[in-house]
């Protein structure tokens, strides 16, 4: 299909892009998520502001505190090439296909807030925050709480997501991403990212993030609480994973009804935790 008509502007700088923001305006970078919606007329815009060539939003940077900042225009392929986390690389390999990973941007995925997207689960489990810029200045918003609903986020109409940023990770972490993919699209029916660490024989750090299950990607905090302080054994993992959908309205659609998706959330949470703990130092 052909999208409804709209105007198009290619921004020469971030400041110029910020100056173009108004009601009915959308930001476009790689366009791997937005353009299909426009073509199917599931979304419409009055104007697109293209930031895809802004060099100031590109790159992956190590921070002085041991953290990492990923520019909004860093592609999946660039993040795969730069990360030192094997499980992050493996998770990104499950996103789309080669062409999507070469063009699609991590920042675009976070800003798009698709409830079945893989990148938000990985970023949530690694405690990333969104860096949002407007003419009023810059603010940092933790991704835990950033996603407000399907395709809705904490980005204000006059803001652009310029990067995602995290602090240093605990020593000896292990991680894993497990996914039940919809066969045709590759989107997650259930996707679970687990990032864990051990200390003195106990689980000392646990971040479990889930996508595809509810209206937003979310931290499964009941799973985290049950796992933290446990011995990380089979019984502890199974008991923790059973809380994967606590407090969540589970989606039901043609791909998986509510009961099946709920059951699979627990199964894939258990698999992700087991794999992550096997890698933890």
Query: pLDDT tens digits, residue range 174-221?
Result: 999 999 999 988 899 999 999 999 999 999 999 999 999 999 999 999
pLDDT per residue over 38-76, tens digit each?
887 777 888 889 998 999 999 999 999 999 999 999 999
Domain harbouring 221, CATH code = 3.30.390.50
| Torsion sign, CA atoms 193, 199, 200, 202 | negative
Q: What is the pLDDT of residue 1?
A: 66
What pTM, to 2 d.p., does this model score? 0.94
Q: Is residue 1 part of a domain?
A: no
40 and 68 in a single domain? The answer is no
| Measured distance CA(136)–CA(43) in Å, rounded | 28
C-alpha torsion angle, residues 66, 72, 74, 77 (rounded to 10): 100
Least confident of 60-69, 94-103, 122-131: 94-103
Q: Is the same domain home to 197 and 134? A: no
Domain end residue (candidates: 120, 137, 166): 166
């Amino acid at each position: 299909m052909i999208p409804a008509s709209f105007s198009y502007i290619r921004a020469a700088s971030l400041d110029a892009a910020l100056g173009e923001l108004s009601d009915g305006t959308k930001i476009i970078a790689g366009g791997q998520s937005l353009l299909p919606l426009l073509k199917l007329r599931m979304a419409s815009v009055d104007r697109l502001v293209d930031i895809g060539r802004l060099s100031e939003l590109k790159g992956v940077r190590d921070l002085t505190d041991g953290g990492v900042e990923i520019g909004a225009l860093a592609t999946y392929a660039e993040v795969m090439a730069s990360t030192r986390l094997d499980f992050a690389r493996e998770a990104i390999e499950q996103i789309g296909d080669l062409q999507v990973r070469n063009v699609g941007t991590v920042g675009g995925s976070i800003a798009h807030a698709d409830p079945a997207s893989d990148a938000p689960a990985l970023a949530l489990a690694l405690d990333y925050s969104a860096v949002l810029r407007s003419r009023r200045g810059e603010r940092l918003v933790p991704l835990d709480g950033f996603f407000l609903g399907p395709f809705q986020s904490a980005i204000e109409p006059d803001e652009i997501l310029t990067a995602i940023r995290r602090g240093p990770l605990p020593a000896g972490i292990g991680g894993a991403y497990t996914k039940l993919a919809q066969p045709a699209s590759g989107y997650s029916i259930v996707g679970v990212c687990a990032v864990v660490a051990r200390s003195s024989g106990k689980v000392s750090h646990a971040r479990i993030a889930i996508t595809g299950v509810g209206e937003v990607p979310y931290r499964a905090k009941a799973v985290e609480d049950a796992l933290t302080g446990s011995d990380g054994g089979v019984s502890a993992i199974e008991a923790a994973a059973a809380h994967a959908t606590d407090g969540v309205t589970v989606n039901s659609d043609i791909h998986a009804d509510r009961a099946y998706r709920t059951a699979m959330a627990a199964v894939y949470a258990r698999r992700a935790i087991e794999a992550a703990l096997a890698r933890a130092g």
